[in-house]
Amino acid sequence: MTVPRHLRDNHDNTDEAMIRFNGLAYALEIVGDEIPEGATKAASHWQAFYALLNELIDKHETIMRMRSLEWIGMGGNSTGESFTEAEIAKARGN
């Protein structure tokens, strides 16, 4: 069975985002382990931690959106997400 190109593209896009998400999560763990006990939020370790945390939150939102587009691409409907007609058409291979 050949997987339609639009479904493969939807999956590959989500997969790439997951790889980046996992990398950010691991980096956040490393930075968190290096924060000195008693460090203030002005310390560079804390600033790095929060910068990575914000990136991780943004990436998570992107991934959830991509997962919804995968579902739409398989013929499902999205509830709670708003997509343009062009995004829906692309996800469905139109």
DSSP state of 80: S
In sequence order, the 6+-apart residues with CB closer than 8 A to the CB of 67 are 14
Summarize pLDDT for 43-77 with one digit per residue, the tens: 888 888 888 889 899 999 889 888 889 889 988 88
d(CA 56, CA 54): 5
pLDDT at 22 over 80: yes
Phi-psi bin for 93: left (phi > 0), alpha (psi -120 to 50), beta? left
pLDDT at 42 over 80: no
Domain ranges of the chain: 5-91
Integer distance in angstroms from the first to the last C-alpha of the chain?
20
